[in-house]
Amino acid sequence: AKRESKHFIQQAIEADLAAGRFSGVFTRFPPEPNGYLHIGHAKSICLNFGLAKEYGGTCNLRFDDTNPTKEETEYVESIQEDIRWLGFEWDSLHYASDYFDQLYQWAEKLIGEGHAYVCDLTAEQTREYRGTLTEPGKNSPFRDRTVEENLDLFRRMRAGEFPDGSRVLRAKIDMASPNINLRDPVMYRILRATHHRTGDAWCIYPTYDWTHGQSDSIEGISFSICTLEFENHRPLYDWYCEKLGIHHPRQIEFAKLKLSTLLMGKRHMLRMVKEGYVNGWDDPRMPTISGYRRRGYTPESIRNFCADAGIAKFNSTIDIIRLENAVREHLNAVALRRMAVLDPIKLTITNWPEGKVEMTEAINNPEDPSAGKREIPFSGSLWIEQDDFREEAPRKFFRLKKGGAVRLRAGYIVDCHDVVKDADGNVIEILCTYDPETKSGSDSSGRKVKGTIHWVSAEHAVEAEVRLYDRLFTVENPGDPEEGKTFLDYLNPDSLKVITGYLEPALAEAELGDRVQFERLGYYVVDPDTTPQKRVFNRIVSLRDTWGK
């Protein structure tokens, strides 16, 4: 669905450009490298890169790496891979840590102008002094230190003279402000930790708020787009830029993408990975970009979904079905059709000439004539799905039943005349005759049957491990557990079933990452665990939504 009207961010941008406030649209995507990107980040990526493209501007990738204890090079690399896979390329790559020197100098400047001070309150006292939403804060007893004393202490903080956590640098704003973010926020903390890029060069680290706006400013960003929880930080963002007298970008907030049944916070995802509830960040059940890639989602479907979800000013939850439908819609257009039987029962054609193999022809994709056709071997011994047969069936059961007939896709109409049972009375083989006049494509019989089912020739079938993935959580909002429970209580015990599938021979050539439709079942992708000895397919998504049915 194309959106005709412009969303509020486009409107704000156009107003600012028209007023001459900025010379262009310069955006950035600023992940903290403390985990893998998730589908919520995809939304921000599509927005920031998309706006830069739409208005002929640029979009940077900037790692917001001010928290040395949580950040790792592995994450830096995965983030770049994921952005590229989504189809975007940054104009330039930056790290907030590249600006540590500049930030330090600016901090000294603010101290020199009486806008920042070194505070010795403990963390607990600082909290106490900060006040609450209804109570104003109290001034720190260290608030009136002289510029000289503050400069001296700050330099000695940097020089490593004080223990971790013993002092902070704070901006001197207003302890009575109704906005708690303006009650003398912390700019620097003492922390001896090895940074993934600056190593042990620093033992004081800037806070997010003291870093973010200045990094935007240094890069000449015009529109600093972030999520709603930073709305109350905007006055602080503006205060720093004004006090420093530097290029002043405009911060604009939008609502985070939230999807039903997903748990996206990096904190939760890290726990799932570390404690082994999933097989790594790229487990196909994870809401990460790398998980979706391995699951077989296409970048196009994720981009389409993000565009369709729109940009909102208020938080809401989007039904996960919309993401799944975006995947179905794209794969329906591009995936080749193949036959595969995942829950097999033998069908024997009793009037088929012994040993005869006949090639039949099937189209690869009814949505795309250019995808051509393929040949499939047909024989007297086939696999069909258990589910497509009933010995006794209601009138409206249009698959195969005893005494009934069905068309085998791209093959013949068969009539079932008998079954073979095991000692317990279970049907283990279905006996049919075929009608030679009814071959698909050259049917001269005039016979009509209601049902068509898929099959594979038993002797030609290719065996594969098939991983049937389903939702990881059984509830709409696993992040909001009932009293006494955690998100772990909502894990879906059936989120992965591993079975053996019987595939038509063309699938022996499927390559890593190839996506196909197993007719009547769903979309599947070749998993990287595939080896020359063992093919592995992942279920991307079923053909239609069957959750809860």
- Amino acid letter, 75: Y
The nearer residue to Mg ion, 65 or 435, going by C-beta atoms, is 65
Give me the least distance between CB of 266 and Mg ion, in Å please. Answer: 5
One of 25, 30, 103, 503 touching ligand ATP (CB under 6 A): 30
SS (H, E, C) 78-97: HHHHHHHHHCCCCCCEEEHH
> Known binder of ligand: residue 109?
no
Using CB under 6 A as the binding rule, whether residue 43 contacts ligand ATP is answered as yes
Buried b (16+ CB within 10 A) or exposed e, 43-66: bbbbbbbbbbeebebbbbbbbbbb
Give me the least distance between CB of 214 and ligand ATP, in Å please. Answer: 16
One of 26, 27, 31, 244 touching ligand ATP (CB under 6 A): 31
Give me the least distance between CB of 321 and ligand ATP, in Å please. Answer: 18
Q: How far does the chain reach from its first CA to its final CA, in angstroms?
A: 28
Query: What residue ranges in 79-232 does DSSP mark as E strands?
Result: 93-95, 116-119, 168-171, 186-190, 204-206, 223-227
The nearer residue to Mg ion, 109 or 256, going by C-beta atoms, is 256
Residue number of the CB closest to ligand ATP reads 40
Using CB under 6 A as the binding rule, whether residue 510 contacts ligand ATP is answered as no
Using CB under 6 A as the binding rule, whether residue 478 contacts ligand ATP is answered as no
The nearer residue to ligand ATP, 28 or 183, going by C-beta atoms, is 28
**What span, in angstroms and rounded, lies between the C-alpha atoms of 143 and 162?**
19
Helix (H) or strand (E) holding 71: none
Give me the least distance between CB of 258 and ligand ATP, in Å please. Answer: 6
**What span, in angstroms and rounded, lies between the C-alpha atoms of 375 and 440?**
13
CB-CB contact of 133 with 232 (8 Å): no
One of 13, 26, 44, 388 touching ligand ATP (CB under 6 A): 44
x-marked contacts with Mg ion along 32-71 as a string, rule CB under 5 A: x---------------------------------------
**What span, in angstroms and rounded, lies between the C-alpha atoms of 322 and 387?**
28
**What span, in angstroms and rounded, lies between the C-alpha atoms of 440 and 460?**
20
The nearer residue to Mg ion, 253 or 388, going by C-beta atoms, is 253
Using CB under 6 A as the binding rule, whether residue 212 contacts ligand ATP is answered as no
CB-CB contact of 297 with 518 (8 Å): no
> Known binder of ligand: residue 146?
no
> Known binder of ligand: residue 101?
no
> Known binder of ligand: residue 68?
no
Q: SS3 for 485?
A: coil
Using CB under 6 A as the binding rule, whether residue 41 contacts ligand ATP is answered as yes
- Partner whose footprint covers residue 44, from Mg ion, ligand ATP, none (CB < 5 to 8 Å by kind): ligand ATP
Using CB under 6 A as the binding rule, whether residue 233 contacts ligand ATP is answered as no
- Amino acid letter, 139: N
> Known binder of ligand: residue 216?
no
For Mg ion, which stretch binds (CB under 5 A), given 25-33, 125-133, 156-164, 313-321? 25-33
The nearer residue to ligand ATP, 265 or 441, going by C-beta atoms, is 265
For Mg ion, which stretch binds (CB under 5 A), given 28-36, 120-128, 195-203, 418-426? 28-36
> Known binder of ligand: residue 43?
yes
- Partner whose footprint covers residue 137, from ligand ATP, Mg ion, none (CB < 5 to 8 Å by kind): none
Using CB under 6 A as the binding rule, whether residue 318 contacts ligand ATP is answered as no
The nearer residue to ligand ATP, 65 or 324, going by C-beta atoms, is 65
Using CB under 6 A as the binding rule, whether residue 181 contacts ligand ATP is answered as no
Q: Which of residues 253-272 bind Mg ion (CB under 5 A)?
A: 266
CA distance readout (Å), 237 to 211, 217, 349, 434, 532: 9, 10, 76, 76, 56
Q: Which of residues 251-310 bind ligand ATP (CB under 6 A)?
A: 256-257, 264-266
The nearer residue to Mg ion, 70 or 402, going by C-beta atoms, is 70
Interface size with ligand ATP, residues (CB under 6 A): 15
> Known binder of ligand: residue 64?
yes
- Partner whose footprint covers residue 233, from ligand ATP, Mg ion, none (CB < 5 to 8 Å by kind): none
The nearer residue to ligand ATP, 218 or 335, going by C-beta atoms, is 218
Is residue 42 classed exposed, middle or buried when 0-12, 13-18 and 19+ CB atoms within 10 A define those classes?
buried
> Known binder of ligand: residue 413?
no
> Known binder of ligand: residue 321?
no
For ligand ATP, which stretch binds (CB under 6 A), given 24-32, 166-174, 483-491, 506-514? 24-32
- Partner whose footprint covers residue 41, from Mg ion, ligand ATP, none (CB < 5 to 8 Å by kind): ligand ATP
The dihedral through the CA atoms of 325, 225, 99, 265 has a sign that is negative
Strands 336-338 and 515-518, by their bridges, are parallel
The nearer residue to ligand ATP, 259 or 362, going by C-beta atoms, is 259
> Known binder of ligand: residue 484?
no
* Helix spans in 131-207 (H): 147-158
> Known binder of ligand: residue 277?
no
> Known binder of ligand: residue 276?
no
Q: SS3 for 255?
A: coil
State the residue for tokens 């909002």.
477
CB atoms within 10 A of CB 533: 5
Question: Which residues lie across from 429 on neighbouring strands?
Answer: 346, 420
Is residue 479 classed exposed, middle or buried when 0-12, 13-18 and 19+ CB atoms within 10 A define those classes?
middle
The string of DSSP codes covering 283-322 is -TTSSBHHHHHHHT--HHHHHHHHHHH---SS---B-HHH
Beta-carbon contacts of residue 415 (< 8 Å; ≥ 6 apart): 404, 405, 432, 433, 434, 435
Q: Which residues does the annotation place in the binding site? A: 32-34, 38-44, 64, 208, 227
- The footprint of ligand ATP (CB under 6 A) covers 30-32, 35, 40-41, 43-44, 226-227, 256-257, 264-266
Q: Which residues does the annotation place in the binding site for L-glutamine? A: 64, 208
Q: Which residues does the annotation place in the binding site for ATP? A: 32-34, 38-44, 227
- The footprint of Mg ion (CB under 5 A) covers 32, 266
